[in-house]
């Protein structure tokens, strides 16, 4: 059914507000215009300062491919292909002009030819991701994702009682994580819980809490300012435990929850002004990052970390440095490459790693970066494509990101098609939150499977508890 105000996408579809579609389309057009200006300026800087003849060409190719994919998703930059391309741009293209032009950062990238190889192989990851999004591969994940996110009846609206219960859970989860020393930033041996149980409990208390907050926030946008404020309180309570554990990015997870929830509510009932809530949350980043940095310095027993930034320029450089996946990827390539050329399979090293009982990230921490294995965590990691390259070379990069693209596309299809998309939006926001890490942080397929298995359990329990009565005796998908 099509009309001037509603659009039905398939037999299982929900109405889509044309005002929301208008907002998303306009936002995409504005972002593309700004992106073109930034890409032209960045390419010019790379051409001027590059010491390699290959780097400017590879960088320009990366900009062109990114623009094509973003133009394809211009009507909704939060679509699977759009958000993946943005993750690649932020993780690999954004930092290159800074790395080649700023003296304090140039020392981190000794070889511009290796930087060109890093940009090129990360572009291979983006191509694999795009193939996974645009091809038929999302059918591999659809049965499971659909079963988890469908509801036979609409979920109950958020209530103040739900907020009180969830707030108690957030506080208790935070107290437990701090008391047990679960996932302390930069330290791997403080927890008193055995390794296997530490992971299960940690994922449930950290990521599971974020899923529940995202589920609350999405439905809160339908209920007004007071309920959105309660979502803010939940985000703040969650951030406190993150800061006490030394995580500078304490508000990043809640910000993704709010931004995703807002994006799929924009234009409904005059909710465009609700973006102020998201912007206010982002504005708190510098303050919380400083607090998290101070806590980490205290945990590690050092004063060398100092404050997060000494000014706006220093803050910008530190953010760019933190988002840069090139320097870690170059270190992996320098360690793994033989005869100066990348390998298609890297001798299928993942087989020997499985036999040894270690992950690609642990391998990179110990053997590439020289960390003490007793303290090695994922804080350095191997960069997104680096982990896949260690496991199975360039073929591993293609296959790994193809499956990732298929999974993200499958979840996004459910967000757009289900009449009751609350559960799908909550899980999709977690995928978005992890995408930047999977591109520029750590590509850990086994960790993602474990995490989302636990999130699925939490979602199934939540939809049982929050399920309302079927309308007119007929289930709503």
Judge whether residue 58 has pLDDT over 50: yes
Answer whether 0.85 is exceeded by the pTM: no
Of 36-45, 67-76, 319-328, the one with minimum mean pLDDT is 319-328
What average pLDDT does this structure show over 104-117?
Answer: 78
Task: Supply 277's token pair.
Answer: 């809530």
> Looking at residue 304, what is its pLDDT?
47
What average pLDDT does this structure show over 362-374?
Answer: 73
Most confident range, picked from 322-326, 392-396, 450-454:
392-396
How far is the C-alpha of 102 from the C-alpha of 46, rounded, in Å? 11
What average pLDDT does this structure show over 187-193?
Answer: 56
Of 25-39, 113-127, 291-305, the one with minimum mean pLDDT is 291-305
CB of 381 closer than 8 Å to CB of 328: yes
> Looking at residue 167, what is its pLDDT?
93
Write the CB contacts of 55 (distance below 8 Å, at least 6 apart in sequence). Answer: 46, 96, 100, 112, 113, 115, 116, 119
Write the CB contacts of 353 (distance below 8 Å, at least 6 apart in sequence). Answer: 359, 360, 363, 390, 391
Judge whether residue 417 has pLDDT over 50: yes
> Looking at residue 406, what is its pLDDT?
93
Burial, 465: exposed, middle or buried (Cβ in 10 Å; 0-12, 13-18, 19+)?
A: exposed
What average pLDDT does this structure show over 419-431?
Answer: 89
Mean pLDDT of the chain, nearest integer: 79
What average pLDDT does this structure show over 438-452?
Answer: 76
Q: Quick one: DSSP state of residue 139?
A: G
User: Which band of pLDDT confidence, cut at 50, 70 and 90, is reported for residue 187?
Assistant: low
What average pLDDT does this structure show over 168-190?
Answer: 77
Helix 275-283 / helix 225-244 crossing angle, nearest 10 deg: 20
How far is the C-alpha of 258 from the C-alpha of 115, rounded, in Å? 35
User: Which band of pLDDT confidence, cut at 50, 70 and 90, is reported for residue 376?
Assistant: very low
> Looking at residue 368, what is its pLDDT?
79
> Looking at residue 255, what is its pLDDT?
87
Judge whether residue 384 has pLDDT over 50: yes
Q: Cα-Cα-Cα-Cα dihedral of 124, 366, 307, 286, to 10°? A: 30
How far is the C-alpha of 95 from the C-alpha of 319, rounded, in Å? 10
Of 221-235, 299-313, 364-378, the one with minimum mean pLDDT is 299-313
How far is the C-alpha of 324 from the C-alpha of 441, rounded, in Å? 9
What average pLDDT does this structure show over 222-241?
Answer: 87
User: Which band of pLDDT confidence, cut at 50, 70 and 90, is reported for residue 402?
Assistant: very high
> Looking at residue 216, what is its pLDDT?
92
Judge whether residue 305 has pLDDT over 70: no
CB of 292 closer than 8 Å to CB of 246: yes
> Looking at residue 69, what is its pLDDT?
92
> Looking at residue 62, what is its pLDDT?
92
> Looking at residue 340, what is its pLDDT?
72
């Amino acid at each position: 059914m099509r009309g001037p105000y509603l659009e039905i996408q398939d037999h299982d579809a929900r109405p889509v507000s044309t005002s929301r579609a208008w907002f998303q389309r306009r936002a995409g057009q504005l972002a593309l215009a700004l992106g073109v200006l930034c890409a032209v300026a960045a390419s010019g800087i790379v051409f001027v300062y590059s010491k390699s003849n290959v780097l400017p060409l590879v960088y320009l190719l990366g900009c062109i491919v990114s623009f094509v994919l973003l133009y394809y998703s211009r009507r909704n930059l939060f679509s699977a292909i759009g958000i993946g391309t943005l993750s690649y741009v932020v993780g690999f293209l954004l930092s290159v002009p800074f790395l080649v032009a700023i003296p304090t950062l140039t020392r981190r990238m000794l070889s511009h030819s290796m930087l060109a190889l890093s940009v090129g192989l990360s572009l291979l990851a983006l191509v694999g991701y795009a193939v996974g999004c645009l091809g038929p591969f999302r059918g591999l994940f659809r049965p499971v994702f659909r079963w988890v996110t469908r509801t036979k009846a609409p979920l109950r609206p958020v209530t103040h009682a739900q907020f009180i219960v969830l707030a108690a859970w957030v506080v208790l989860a935070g107290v437990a994580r701090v008391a047990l020393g679960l996932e302390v930033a930069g330290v791997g041996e403080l927890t008193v819980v055995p390794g296997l149980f530490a992971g299960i409990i940690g994922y449930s208390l950290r990521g599971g809490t974020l899923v529940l907050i995202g589920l609350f926030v999405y439905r809160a946008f339908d209920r007004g300012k007071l309920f959105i404020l309660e979502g803010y309180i939940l985000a703040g309570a969650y951030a406190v435990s993150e800061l006490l554990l030394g995580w500078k990015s304490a508000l990043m997870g809640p910000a993704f929850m709010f931004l995703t929830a807002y994006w799929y509510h924009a234009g409904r009932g005059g909710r465009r002004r609700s973006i102020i809530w998201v912007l206010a949350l982002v504005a708190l980043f510098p303050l919380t990052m400083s607090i998290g940095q101070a806590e980490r310095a205290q945990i590690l027993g050092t004063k060398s970390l100092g404050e997060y930034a000494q000014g706006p320029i220093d803050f910008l450089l530190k953010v760019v440095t933190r988002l840069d996946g090139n320097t870690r990827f170059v270190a992996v390539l320098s360690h793994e490459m033989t005869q100066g050329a990348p390998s298609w399979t890297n001798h299928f090293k993942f087989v020997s790693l499985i036999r040894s009982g270690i992950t690609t990230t642990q391998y990179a921490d110990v053997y590439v970066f020289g960390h003490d294995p007793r303290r090695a965590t994922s804080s350095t990691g191997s960069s997104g494509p680096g982990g896949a390259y260690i496991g199975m070379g360039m073929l591993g990069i293609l296959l790994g990101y193809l499956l990732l693209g298929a999974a993200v596309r499958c979840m996004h299809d459910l967000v757009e098609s289900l009449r009751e998309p609350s559960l799908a939006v909550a899980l999709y926001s977690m995928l978005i939150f992890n995408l930047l890490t999977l591109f520029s942080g750590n590509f850990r397929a086994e960790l993602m499977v474990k995490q989302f298995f636990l999130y699925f359990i939490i979602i199934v329990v939540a939809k049982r508890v929050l399920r309302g009565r079927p309308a007119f005796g007929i289930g709503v998908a």
